[in-house]
Structure 1
Amino acid sequence: MLSPLSRRSMIRRSGSLTVLLALGLAGCGSDADELADQVPEVNEQGYISGAGVITQLPIGERGEPIELAGEYTDGTAFDLADWRGAPVVLNLWYAACPPCRKEAPALQANYERYQEDGVKFLGINVRDEAPAADAFARTFDLTFPSMLDQDGLGVAALGSVLPAQAVPSTVVLDAQGRAAARVMGAVDASTLEALIGDVLEESA
């Protein structure tokens, strides 16, 4: 049976995040059903409180590439398929979510750190209209783009990796567009740095 790993279950070695247990999350329906049991506590405000739960997927168990196309909050079109060949960080959030506010600087720091490596970042805003999403970005000096996901397309695209109520969550895609790691709950800067670094090492 699948089981998530907390930060205390992991070892840092040479700047990389090494998981003690390999987990597969995508694939058959039974695995998808088990994901529903892995969600950390979701409070009545609809977000995950507490430390994030971290999972990495072995290369051979990553399933199919994540397919998602849409528009940024400014109306510019994007397609994840165009980003194949580089890692991608997807972050589910909304403006009134306290853990989302807490993790925002960590996301921006890693976006800046890995820009030269070609790593792409996309926020998936699950509740807000464009003005609220853009105000959040200005408040936290976020310079990576976000999409509005009131129709649920972004959440649905990640349905094999994340339960629908897992906000905030962060998914790191490998260069082939497959889910390589996820954090359910707020992610910190060092954890995200290590997850991205592991995927970059695979590409190298």
Structure 2
Amino acid sequence: MPAFSSPDRELRGFSRKQALSLAGVATALLLTGCSSSNDSLASQADAGDSKGYIAGDGSVTEYSEEERSQPVSFTGTLYDGSTITAEELRGKPALLNFWYAGCAPCRSEAPHLVELHEKFGNKVQFYGVNVRDERGTAEAFENNFKIKYKSFKDADGKVLYNLSKFVPAQAVPTTLILDAQGRVAARILGEIDSSILKTLLEDQAKSV
């Protein structure tokens, strides 16, 4: 079973361990406005308040080749009306970022996702999974942050449901990285750290 890491988990080599440790400090500071330090993810989910997201701690879980389960399976509809299945994403690594416009951590991480999308180009497929917004709200967010990759309209929770093994129901933002076979290779619960996500994506891009 993969370990759900604390921010100082050693990944591969000193530089990654150091980056993850520093990211944990930064993430803790960023999230002080989202929840108290004593809030667990479970207690936040059970609270049922109107906040609408769980302030994840930015923890990273990596799954080795041996630990990865079967390829994920889902069918989702993009805001432009086109339909994409998980099977269609296979052949290249993919990033799935769960978000919605009113989520403060989602807004904070958006510029970093844009930068990484531009960096990796066609080596990694980027998709958002919007769990709440109608098209106009989602597109206003995307235009504001100059997001060029597309998002699934998932207010009905169909994509989220099929990935619920990896994404807690209210844990937004959450970012999944799929390997080229469509298996979950890594998960970030909460706001991303750009340097860590870059390293995780590089691992998958170079393996293709």
TM-score by length of 1: 0.81
Aligned AA for 2:206?
E
Q: 1:168 aligns with which of 159, 173, 186?
A: 173
Please give the alpha-carbon distance, in whole angstroms, between the structure 2 residues aligned to 1:39 and 1:145. 28
Q: Which residue of 2 aligns with 1:90?
A: 96
Deviation for aligned residue 1:126: 0.5
Cα separation, partners in 2 of 1:56 and 1:178, compared to 1, 3 Å: same
Q: Which residue of 2 aligns with 1:23?
A: none
Q: 2:55 aligns with which of 49, 56, 71?
A: 49
Which ranges in structure 2 are unaligned for 5 or more consecutive residues? 21-39
Aligned AA for 2:4?
P
Q: CA RMSD in A?
A: 2.5
Q: Give the SS at the match of 1:165.
A: coil
Matches within 5 A, 1:22-171: 39=41, 42=44, 44=49, 45-49=51-55, 51-117=57-123, 119-171=124-176
Give the conservation status (yes or no) of the 8 Å contact 2:8–2:17.
no
Deviations 1:49-88 (A, max 9, x none): 2641110011112111111222211212222211211000
| Residue 4 (1) aligns with residue 4 (2) | yes
Percent sequence identity over aligned pairs: 39
Give the conservation status (yes or no) of the 8 Å contact 1:47–1:97.
yes
Q: Give the SS at the match of 1:170.
A: strand
Please give the alpha-carbon distance, in whole angstroms, between the structure 2 residues aligned to 1:40 and 1:12. 30
Identify the structure with the greater strand proportion: 1
Q: Give the SS at the match of 1:59.
A: coil
Aligned AA for 2:180?
A
Deviation for aligned residue 1:15: 7.0
Please give the alpha-carbon distance, in whole angstroms, between the structure 1 residues aligned to 2:142 and 2:155. 18
How many positions carry a matched residue from both structures?
A: 184
Aligned AA for 1:199?
Q
Please give the alpha-carbon distance, in whole angstroms, between the structure 1 residues aligned to 2:43 and 2:93. 29
**Which moved further from structure 2: 100-109 or 46-55?**
46-55
Give the conservation status (yes or no) of the 8 Å contact 1:16–1:198.
no
Aligned AA for 2:82?
T
Cα separation, partners in 2 of 1:160 and 1:177, compared to 1, 3 Å: same
Aligned AA for 2:112?
A
Please give the alpha-carbon distance, in whole angstroms, between the structure 2 residues aligned to 1:185 and 1:85. 27
Please give the alpha-carbon distance, in whole angstroms, between the structure 2 residues aligned to 1:79 and 1:39. 29
Deviation for aligned residue 1:199: 1.6
Which ranges in structure 1 are unaligned for 5 or more consecutive residues? 21-37
Q: Which residue of 2 aligns with 1:189?
A: 194
